Amino acid sequence: MLVLPLELPVTEATPAIAAPRERRVFDGVGKTALVVEDEPSVLDLVVALLGESGWRVEVAPGGRAGFDYVRRHRYDLIVSDIRMPDGDGQEFYERALAHDPALRHRFIFMTGDAAGEEARAFIDGAEVPVIEKPFSPLAFEDAVWRVMTAGGS
């Protein structure tokens, strides 16, 4: 029987596996969120995540309807898409702030694309958390945590 030596490559130590990030979920009991989104799958995810942490959630299919809600109700958090057929997120944001400047620190934007320089300039200037679609539940929960613990509630 012929025995051949076995040669294994020399490698660096195996990199440490990153520990899973701790979930930071903001307890929304007693708080109300408005979700302005026209994509059913994204809307369902956001409503489910907020509902799981105790939020009361209202929904609007676009910016114009969202502004009607803002005129009639007070919201602790507003989660809005940027691009929608019935009033985009920028128009909605600007109208909402003209109505109630305190809303500036209660917004989170979601976007599948920030196409164009104008949209990117608006997002950068608004200084509002932006979540790129598709996003993980962890990324969404983290954005809610950041907005709500920054003193905007």
Q: Who contacts 58 (Cβ-Cβ below 8 Å, separation ≥6)? A: 32, 33, 34, 35, 69, 73, 75
**Residue 152 domain-assigned (yes or no):** no
SS3 146: helix
Give the amino acid at 103: L
How confident is the model over 33-79, as pLDDT tens digits? 999 999 999 999 999 999 999 999 999 999 999 999 999 999 999 99
**Residue 3 domain-assigned (yes or no):** no
pLDDT at 8 over 60: no
- State the CATH number of the domain containing residue 109: 3.40.50.2300
> Would you state the pLDDT for residue 120?
75
**Residue 122 domain-assigned (yes or no):** yes
Measured CA to CA, the distance from residue 29 to residue 25 in angstroms comes to 12
pTM assigned to the model: 0.82
Q: Copy the structure tokens of residue 48.
A: 């489910």
pLDDT at 152 over 50: no
The parent domain of residue 111 ranges over 32-135
Identify the residue whose tokens are 């709500």.
148
